[in-house]
Structure 1
């Protein structure tokens, strides 16, 4: 089982303008409340204390869910924050994710255009933040590719899928995969049983919940980040983390 907080992020690249890190799960990106658990922001603030004391800042460009691991780009001063922010608005930052899903896709590649909105806008939902595919939703596009299919001794048929979001909607990859009948392993909201999320809120993580999920967090990883901005190009990636590789036996 994952620790409640794993603060051991890894630096992938660093210059005077930015730092790129591999964020572990379940480390939260930003503080949610005063005196809360440690976050990536806290760790970066400590690591970049010298730069901050000399006018620098910590501006996290691409935000990941607490339970999503992987590549995070951070601007170290106002000029780079503006550059990367504009690139994000102009869709010049391209992201590639890897996910372990329940089931075997019937396709090798798929371009899914399926609009998304908050489920509670059109029907009852016990989970306020839950999104769903609906014709009245905002346009949403994700490119998928099947990387591997495996048979797991406990979880049954699983697949490793690549996801490249073209748009940037809330929970986009998770919603689209669930819509395709391929929910992400360990996803408490869009997985096999949303009641697990409600129980998690009440009881926190328990061995019984993990047994029903097979995995201690949503198996989604930010594998690659590529940016093409004015006068700047960069590309960074980090491999699927050990707990996901072990579950799929990828190193055998």
Structure 2
């Protein structure tokens, strides 16, 4: 049976098509009474998109029950980053997870394709403060001295999983959650993420076009509102898997 379009509500004014409802439901990787997790594709804004298309936050109305609010996003991913993203289905769950996030009880693991090869050393920690820099309507993050007035502490662990001619596959564990942190930290050590021209990333690697930012949120570990720790994983999307295979990194 085809999914029915959501009704336009006075509170939101949002109306989802049957295709949009089917699309966002196809992204679900885990659901229970407290939480809903999705594998966000690259190109979909988590919130606040400028284009005349619905953001993930708006698409979550597809899961709202009559008279109830939609699931609430617990964290965000950059528009061009793919991977696991968590929502809370109830207000108590949202409060619990929000406090856990603030207490840094979430552990996030990413995969990234970088150029021109593996970092040296092949694993380590990048600990460089960041500051926000706005140019017109665009926001960037920059590495800055610790004593800069706008400096925010940022720390990223990395590990090389594989290396090929002109590229490497890294596992990344951010210990802080600054905007564009992984992208800027890797660029700061001369290993920008492929497909990230904003921070110096290559658009072609070993003769292979890079279709988008090669950064994927692969796993998330967090305290579950019902007790214990929960681990969620999102499979690498097809475009990234194809590039990994072409580079003999997959």
Same fold, judged at TM 0.5 (above): yes
Other-structure match for 2:222: 227
- Cα distance change of structure 1 residues 192 and 213 upon mapping to structure 2, 3 Å threshold: farther
Mapped contact 1:185–1:214 kept (Cα < 8 A)? no
Mapped contact 1:87–1:229 kept (Cα < 8 A)? no
- 1:81 aligned onto 2:94: yes
- Cα distance change of structure 1 residues 106 and 132 upon mapping to structure 2, 3 Å threshold: same
Among candidates 154, 158, 170, match of residue 179 of structure 2: 170
Unaligned runs of at least 5 residues, structure 2: 1-19
User: RMSD of the alignment, in Å?
Assistant: 2.7
Cα offset, 1:62, TM superposition? 1.7
Other-structure match for 1:91: 104
- For 2:121 and 2:249, locate their aligned partners in 1 and report how far apart those are by CA, in whole Å: 24
- 1:240 aligned onto 2:250: no
Cα offset, 1:29, TM superposition? 1.3
- 1:143 aligned onto 2:153: no
Mapped contact 1:99–1:162 kept (Cα < 8 A)? yes
Mapped contact 2:37–2:85 kept (Cα < 8 A)? yes
Other-structure match for 2:190: 181
Cα offset, 1:49, TM superposition? 2.8
- For 1:12 and 1:187, locate their aligned partners in 2 and report how far apart those are by CA, in whole Å: 27
- For 2:130 and 2:64, locate their aligned partners in 1 and report how far apart those are by CA, in whole Å: 40
Unaligned runs of at least 5 residues, structure 1: 152-156, 194-208
Other-structure match for 1:37: 53
Aligned length: 219
- 1:55 aligned onto 2:65: no
Under a length normalisation based on structure 2, what TM-score does the superposition of the two structures give? 0.79
- For 2:200 and 2:220, locate their aligned partners in 1 and report how far apart those are by CA, in whole Å: 26
